[in-house]
Amino acid sequence: MRSTSIRSIRRAELSRAAFEAVVRYGLRGTTLDKVGEIAGVSKGVVLHHFKDKSALLEAVFRRSNSLLSESAVELYRYAETPYERFWAIIVANFCDTIFNRRVCQAWVSLISEVPHNDQCQRIQYACNERIRTNLEHELKHFLSPDDTKRTARHLGMLIDGVWVRAGLMPDRLTSAEAISEMEYAVAKLLPYDEISATKHKEARKKIETIADIALGSKAFKEKSLQV
């Protein structure tokens, strides 16, 4: 198993280097030489581990998305009520660790690979579906079946929109601002009387606190993109 291990370590190193290259130089400025340079190896090594540039970018894309997914899973472990699980999904998408200018810009660059790369398209589709079904699972505690579906789809699109903005706009969009944007939507889309408002707020606070600790921890970051 050592051999597979070496391979997967190298692949991880290289896809991290490629991510860094996309952050620094943009997608069009990311060359195999630069990726190699960042990783401290020659271009040949990159192509030895990835069949071509598309495969490399696909790995970067998968890596970013799986980090997102891991954050959600991690926060889910501590969420005990539908309110908390709901906010776990939201906060996972916008916690400091992964929601920042560099990552959002890189994401914006990388999605341009999706339309002409079936593998990337599958990853993106799976990721969206996961968020959607997770949201549905919690929303059905608050909404009718029909509204559950609509609202889940809707929030999914809104999340994408916030990410795009954060990546495209010159002024930085903070984690807190993004979450507050979602909170605004929730207040309008879900039943929101005084009682549920309090519950939402408490749930969000708890999850945010956990996110700071659990996702900011060294152990978790080691698995991450390490930005």
Region from 60-68, 73-81, 84-92, 151-159 binding a copy of itself, contact rule CB under 8 A: 151-159
Q: Which of 52, 118, 129, 177 binds DNA (CB under 7 A)?
A: 52
**Closer by beta carbon to a copy of itself, 140 or else 165:** 165
Q: Are 22 and 109 in contact (CB under 8 A)?
A: yes
**Closer by beta carbon to DNA, 57 or else 89:** 57
157 lies in the binding site for a copy of itself (CB under 8 A):
yes
Hey, what are 62's tokens? 């998968």
Our CA angle for 128, 182, 27, nearest 5°, is 50
Residue 185 interface partner, choices a copy of itself, DNA, none, CB cut-off 5-8 Å depending on type = a copy of itself
Nearest approach, Cβ of residue 52 and DNA (Å)? 4
What count of other Cβ atoms lies within 10 Å of the Cβ of residue 170? 5
Q: Which of 15, 17, 18, 30 binds DNA (CB under 7 A)?
A: 30
Hey, what are 41's tokens? 């190896």
Q: Are 104 and 227 in contact (CB under 8 A)?
A: no
Our CA angle for 6, 98, 139, nearest 5°, is 115
Residues that bind DNA (CB under 7 A): 1-3, 6-7, 10, 30-34, 41-45, 47-49, 51-54
